[in-house]
Amino acid sequence: MRFFLLMSILSTHNNFEEIIFIDEGRLLEEYSEEEYDDYYDHLKKRFFGWNSYIVEDQKDVYFVSDTLFSYSNQSNESISYKYVYETGKDIKDSVAVTGGISTNASTKAKGFNLKFDNKLQSKISVEQSKSITEKWQLDIDVPPFTKMSLKIRGEGKISNGVSHLYIFFIKVKEGGWEVLDVTKEYYWLVEEYV
């Protein structure tokens, strides 16, 4: 799964609650305008097309994309909750192939013109669709003065940088870009004392 985000200087990741670099690294939104200008200086003019400078290349990250629920118990008694989760998605694939084979031959023999034409055309199309549904139930007891949260967490690799678009050696666009490749995604149950 790949998320491509074309971002301006002050934008944020709306699809993720939290992104944490395992080692050092920074998101595009953390660069100052002076750093943008420094990175733009690495770019050379082109006759036509994009020219990019990569700042962060395939840096490992953890992320939290969504909090499914969060129950807090600030009483002296344990509280029971029942949580039902259901999600689904439809996947459709369609492939169409068209092709043809033709042959021809001709000859002249004793005043006769002999000609042979053969043509074979074929068209094949396949359409496949499937629906994936996930449903589960979680019964949970939240102890006194505790907060329980179920989050979708994952791991991925982030790359970002700056680019210029040139047409006839004239810069027509500039900006930053950021790509997050999601490599793993899982449910994460967190218990915190409040």
d(CA 17, CA 190): 15
For the segment 56-91, what is each residue's pLDDT rounded down to a tens digit? 999 999 999 888 889 999 999 999 989 888 888 777
Say whether 11 sits in a helix, a strand or coil. coil
Whether residues 56 and 113 fall in one domain: no
Q: What is the pLDDT of residue 40?
A: 92
Average of pLDDT values for 39-61? Answer: 92
In this predicted structure, the answer to whether residue 117 has a pLDDT above a threshold of 80 is: no
Whether residues 70 and 153 fall in one domain: yes
Whether residues 31 and 96 fall in one domain: no
Return the percentage of the chain with pLDDT > 70, whole number: 81
The mean pLDDT value of the chain amounts to 82
Q: What is the pLDDT of residue 10?
A: 35
- In this predicted model, which residue has the larger pLDDT, 86 or 13? 86
Given 102, 119, 135, which residue is the final one in a domain? 135
Q: What is the pLDDT of residue 5?
A: 42
Whether residues 151 and 73 fall in one domain: yes
Count the domains in the chain. Answer: 2
Q: What is the pLDDT of residue 8?
A: 34
Q: How far apart are the first and last CA of the chain?
A: 36
Whether residues 65 and 114 fall in one domain: no
The residue written with tokens 């709306």 in the block is 14
Helical residues (DSSP H) of 67-142, grouped into ranges: none
In this predicted structure, the answer to whether residue 144 has a pLDDT above a threshold of 90 is: yes
In this predicted structure, the answer to whether residue 96 has a pLDDT above a threshold of 50 is: yes
- Domain with 49, as residue range(s), is 2-78+143-193
Q: What is the pLDDT of residue 107?
A: 73
